[in-house]
């Protein structure tokens, strides 16, 4: 499986994550985000919040539906307290 850092994600996903983080008063730099791909288009996106070590893994196929799940997890406090 090939692993790549968030900086190599598609630009639209990077923008969506940045927007979601800012909506809750966090910076995307507060998270370690990477993904693994097995070559058939299926991806697993790993997100860990630095400082709390809270983490989650999202299944991501074509598109960026995983960002909506990440947003929901942020809002419910899975990654720790948010300011907004």
With tokens 């983080």, the residue in question is: 21
CA 21/CA 39 separation, integer angstroms? 29
Cα gap 83→69, rounded to integer Å = 19
Whether residue 84 has pLDDT greater than 70: no
Where would I find the H helices in the chain?
11-23, 66-75
Q: pLDDT (tens digit, 9 = 90+) per residue, 36-62? A: 987 777 889 999 998 888 999 999 876
Give CA angle at 5 (32, 17), nearest 5°. Answer: 60
The radius of gyration computed from the CA coordinates of the chain, to the nearest angstrom, equals: 12
């Amino acid at each position: 499986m090939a692993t790549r850092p968030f900086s190599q994600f598609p630009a639209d996903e990077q923008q969506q994550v940045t927007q979601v983080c800012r909506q809750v008063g966090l910076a995307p730099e507060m998270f370690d985000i990477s993904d693994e791909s097995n070559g058939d288009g299926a991806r697993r996106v790993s997100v860990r919040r630095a400082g709390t070590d809270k983490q989650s893994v999202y299944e991501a196929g074509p598109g960026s539906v995983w960002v909506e799940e990440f947003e929901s997890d942020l809002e419910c406090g899975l990654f720790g307290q948010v300011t907004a």
